[in-house]
Amino acid sequence: MKVLLVGGGGREHALAWALSGSGLLTKLWVAPGNAGIAEVAECVAIGAEDVPALVAFARERAVDLVVCGPEAPLTLGLADACAAAGLKCFGPSAAAAKLEGSKAFTREVATAAGVPGAEWAQFTEAEAARAYVRAKGAPIVVKADGLAAGKGVVVAATVAEAEQAITEIMEDKVHGAAGSTLLIEECLMGQEVSFFALCDGETALPMAAAQDHKRVGDGDTGPNTGGMGAYSPPPAFTPAIEAEVMDRIIRPTLAEMARRGTPFRGVLFAGLMLTEAGPKLIEFNVRFGDPECQVLMLRLQSDLLAALLAACDGELDRFALRWSAEAAMVVVMAARGYPGAYARGSVIEGLEQAAQVPGAQVFHAGTARDEQGHLVATGGRVLGVSATGATLRVARDAAYTAVDAVRWPGGFCRRDIGWRALEM
Ligand code: AMP
Ligand code: GLY
């Protein structure tokens, strides 16, 4: 089978790595890919959001399956354009991808489906939003409605902080048009977990859970990022909780999307808070998490390509997934300054040594080769230094041994990935 994978981050390196191990695969292209992906697939110089060029390439090469990593091409209609061109695509239609593209839409669907979540209200006027915040008190959560690269959310500890966030998002437009509608939510308390389910429109197959670390600094301090590290499985996410999440969150959402005539096919990523009153939905995403995907792919024992095809073909009711009982951890190495401004072009060395650590696997995110063939950083999140182990502690030790083998003065990482589980 010929596959075109869309994207070029750490998630896509993990997907490319897993796809390249499939017995069904004959050729893998990745658009645009990165320096690590180039080691397992052929990179194609097409931007991940250039939907017409992606579809034209897939047709020209008679690709059997297009797999979409990031959300942006999906919200731009990649799956719809593939369907119109007679191509199979793993990922939801633009209408179903609204579950990620619009937080207000997600809230509507979740409410209709009876999904447990935070109390919320929606505003298009800053003054009304400020009045609501003053009435509710803190802590309280302020969110830009549209896509803001994961940075449109402020968990405000005080009313003043919430009011400032409202001003920045609605009046100063720090996230542009994404801030013209605002959501204000009850602040949920508990452990946060990312849960993934494969969906074929009708059937949802549980995959696995992972715990991400969104704040940039050790001890969960500093600004939110795309994710600084993850591990799987999170011990707090018990089989009983998984069953409850499938019954109360995933399946009702899938049924509601089908009822609306916009069935969801792809991977549904539920961002959950494990509260004292049970698991509650924070948000949906319509793709694998980054860096959660890296640890999921390390633990997946089934053929990924076969699973994605079953989701596309509506055959998940006859499919089962096997997972390793081992733990996996990914530590993200980012360019100094991230998630703020950072420099590009610094040289990275030592990846061969890192890869020799038993159980280790280095996934690339923002990397490229310069003219001399040196590996250079080209993004904010640059590497996902990962490892598996019999226990989380073993995986953690291996991942950090590999991190310490990387010679990259322009980079940094958190030193405490997995701390919640390791303290349990
Ligand atoms: P989101 O972009 O919706 O995932 O929000 C980013 C982060 O903000 C989440 O990963 C949570 O850590 C936090 N967050 C969002 N909504 C809430 C909420 N209602 N209660 C507590 N924390 C939240
Ligand atoms: N790591 C969180 C996300 O992919 O949205």
Instruction: Give the ligand whose atoms come closest to the C-alpha of residue 7.
Output: 2
Instruction: Give the ligand whose atoms come closest to the C-alpha of residue 223.
Output: 1
Q: Separation of 347 CA from ligand 1 center, angstroms? A: 34
Atom of ligand 2 nearest to the CA of 290: 4
CA distance 138 to 157: 6
Give residue 202's region: left, alpha or beta (phi > 0; psi -120 to 50): alpha
How is residue 214 written in tokens?
């969104």
As its CATH architecture, domain 119-186 has: 2-Layer Sandwich (3.30)
Domain 191-318: assigned CATH number:
3.30.470.20
| Residue 424 burial class via C-beta count within 10 angstroms: exposed 0-12, middle 13-18, buried 19 and up | exposed
Ligand 2 surroundings by CB, under 6 angstroms: 150, 212, 226-227, 285, 289-290, 292
Contact yes or no for 403/414 (Cβ under 8 A):
no
Q: Separation of 287 CA from ligand 2 center, angstroms? A: 9
Instruction: Give the ligand whose atoms come closest to the C-alpha of residue 228.
Output: 2
Per-residue pLDDT of the chain (424 residues), as tens digits, is: 999 999 999 999 999 999 999 999 999 999 999 999 999 999 999 999 999 999 999 999 999 999 999 999 999 999 999 999 999 999 999 999 999 978 778 989 999 999 999 999 999 999 999 999 999 999 999 998 776 555 678 999 999 999 999 999 988 887 777 668 899 999 999 999 999 999 999 999 999 999 999 999 999 999 889 999 999 999 999 999 999 999 999 999 999 999 999 999 999 999 999 999 999 999 999 999 999 999 999 999 999 999 999 999 999 999 999 999 999 999 999 999 999 999 999 999 999 999 999 999 999 999 999 999 999 999 999 999 999 999 999 999 999 999 999 999 999 999 999 999 998 6
Q: Separation of 282 CA from ligand 1 center, angstroms? A: 6
Does 283 sit in the ligand 1 pocket, CB within 6 Å?
Answer: yes
Task: Tell me: cis bond preceding 234? Omega within 30 of 0 counts.
Answer: no
Does 150 sit in the ligand 1 pocket, CB within 6 Å?
Answer: yes
CA distance 102 to 146: 5
Atom of ligand 2 nearest to the CA of 285: 5
Domain residue ranges of the chain, discontinuous segments joined by +: 2-94, 119-186, 191-318, 327-423
Q: What pLDDT is attached to residue 181?
A: 86
What fold is seen in the domain 327-423? Glycinamide Ribonucleotide Synthetase; Chain A, domain 4 (3.90.600)
Q: What pLDDT is attached to residue 378?
A: 98
Instruction: Give the ligand whose atoms come closest to the C-alpha of residue 148.
Output: 1
Contact yes or no for 2/62 (Cβ under 8 A):
yes
Q: What pLDDT is attached to residue 152?
A: 77
Q: Separation of 291 CA from ligand 1 center, angstroms? A: 17
Query: Mutate which of 11, 99, 292 to test ligand 2's pocket (most atoms within 8 Å of Cβ)?
Result: 292
Domain 2-94: assigned CATH number:
3.40.50.20
Query: Mutate which of 71, 155, 192, 225 to test ligand 1's pocket (most atoms within 8 Å of Cβ)?
Result: 155
Name the pTM for this structure. Answer: 0.94
CA distance 30 to 78: 15
DSSP state letter for 37: G
Q: What pLDDT is attached to residue 347?
A: 98
Q: What pLDDT is attached to residue 148?
A: 59
